[in-house]
Amino acid sequence: MIDNRERTIRFDATGLHCMREERTLFDELSFSLGPGELLQVEGCNGSGKTTLLRVLCGLKRPDGGAVLWCGEAIDAVFPDFAAQLAYVAHTPGLKESLTPLENLSMAAALGGPRNGMAPEDALERLGLPEGHEELPCYKLSAGQRRRVALGRLLLSSARLWILDEPFTALDVSGRALVNKLLLEHAARGGMAIFTTHHTMDLEGASVRAVHLS
C-alpha cells in the first residue's frame, strides 16, 4: 500500500500559460516531478520566475493549463496539497518585531499536521548563533533573517519545497547549508522547485531545469 502511494506522489504542471499586461511570460510550460527530483527555474530578471512559483503554489491562477498534485488539480485537493507544501518566498514572511522562535512557532501552528523538527532545533540547524533566537527579527542581519525563513522548511515533513531565490543574502556557509538541505530532502524522496542565480552543487540528485525567456 505504502509503495503504491509513494509511486503516485507526483507534482505536474501541464500547459501552463501566464500573461502579464499583454506580454506572455510563459506558454505551454509543462513538467512533471516525482519523489527525489529537483527542478531549477532559470531566467533573467523579470522573466516570470516568481510568477511561475506563485502559480505552482496555488497563490496565483494561471491564464491557462493546470497544476496537479498526485494527478488532481491543486484547488480540488487544496488542504492536502498545502499540508505537503513549504513555500519560502522572496519576502521572508517574518514579523520584524517577533523573535525567530516566535516566528517559527507561528509557522508550525499554521502549517497543519507537523512531524518535523521543533522550532528551536530548526534554528540551530540553520546556524542561527546561540542567543539570537530570542532577539526581535529587526535586529538580525538580512542573511540571518533568510536563515530563519528557511527554518520553516524543517518544521514539517512537507514533500514539496518551493523556494524563491533561497540564496539571497546568504554567505558561503549559508549557501552550502541550503545546498546540503536540498540534497538531503531529495534523498528522503522530497521534491523541490527553486530559482537562483547562483551555481549549485547538486551532485547525486536528479536535477532538471526549465528556462523562461
Residues forming the site for other proteins (CB under 8 A)? 57-61, 78-80, 82-83, 85, 87, 89-98, 102, 105-115, 118, 136
Shortest CB 17 distance to other proteins, Å = 15
Nearer to other proteins, 191 or 200 (CB): 191
Q: Locate the DSSP E strands across the chain.
A: 11-20, 23-33, 37-42, 64-69, 72-73, 85-88, 160-164, 191-195, 206-211
Q: 11 and 160 in contact (C-beta within 8 Å)?
A: yes
Strand order in the sheet with 72-73: 23-33, 11-20, 64-69, 72-73
The secondary structure of 122-163 as a DSSP string is HHHHTTPPTTGGGS-GGGS-HHHHHHHHHHGGGGS--SEEEE
Query: Which residues have a Cβ under 8 Å from the Cβ of 7 and sit 6 or more positions away?
Result: none
Shortest CB 81 distance to other proteins, Å = 8
Nearer to other proteins, 13 or 183 (CB): 13
- Identify which of 63, 15, 80, 49 has the alpha carbon closest to the alpha carbon of residue 210: 49
Nearer to other proteins, 97 or 173 (CB): 97
Q: For cell 533566537, what's the residue? A: 133
CB count within 10 Å of CB 131 equals 7
C-alpha cell at 54: 506563485
Shortest CB 154 distance to other proteins, Å = 13
Nearer to other proteins, 109 or 209 (CB): 109
Shortest CB 157 distance to other proteins, Å = 11
Shortest CB 152 distance to other proteins, Å = 8
C-alpha cell at 60: 496565483
Nearer to other proteins, 149 or 181 (CB): 149
Nearer to other proteins, 140 or 200 (CB): 140
Shortest CB 94 distance to other proteins, Å = 7
